[in-house]
Amino acid sequence: MTHIRFIPSQPTRFPHTNEALFAIAIWPVLFAVGCWQTPQIAQFLNGQGLEISTLQVFLAGLGAYLFLLGKHRVLNRRYFERHAVDIAWHRRLCEVDQEMVAAGQAGTDTHKALMSEIAQLRKELGFLIDADNFYRKLKILIDVMSWLRSKLK
């Protein structure tokens, strides 16, 4: 008899701050390559009577991307709400870690177990853990990309 075997799914993992920022920063480069490798959108629009270049298609797509990046916190609020308990638990564990280190209990088995749980939560929650830092860096990245977009116009 054949048994149905389920493939275990990986738990949902959010990228860390640097991973997320790298993916956000690399997208315009990939989009630019796509625009210049496949100029069919500009050709189609030119065929419809609009005089538009591949650069204008890229700039319009980049502008839409930057607009949506500016709304990232609002668009992803549901993830912060869904994982609010885990985020609060991580913060509490970090406080306990600081208290244990101040009390001289660093390196004990209890402290190692605590650090293991903190690491597991950080691995699963990624940028949700340090959202303020992520959004501060994202704002800088948006500003740089907006400046580059203005220079291309």
pLDDT in tens, 85-110: 999 999 999 999 999 999 998 889 99
> Would residue 24 count as lying in a domain?
yes
Non-local CB neighbours of 153 within 8 Å, separated by 6+ positions: 59
> Would residue 114 count as lying in a domain?
yes
Two tokens, residue 42: 């500009």
**Structural domain count of the chain:** 1
> Would residue 44 count as lying in a domain?
yes
Nearest one of 127, 129, 126 to 92, comparing CA atoms: 129
pLDDT in the model for residue 6: 47
Q: Is pLDDT above 90 for 17?
A: yes
CB 90 within 8 A of CB 118: yes
> Would residue 8 count as lying in a domain?
no
Is the whole model's pTM more than 0.75, yes or no?
Answer: yes
Identify the domain containing residue 29 by its residue range: 17-152
CB 37 within 8 A of CB 117: no
Across 49-63, average pLDDT: 92
What amino acid occupies position 19?
A: E
Rounded Cα–Cα distance for residues 143 and 129 (Å): 23
> Would residue 134 count as lying in a domain?
yes
pLDDT in tens, 105-150: 888 999 999 999 999 999 999 999 999 999 999 999 999 999 999 9
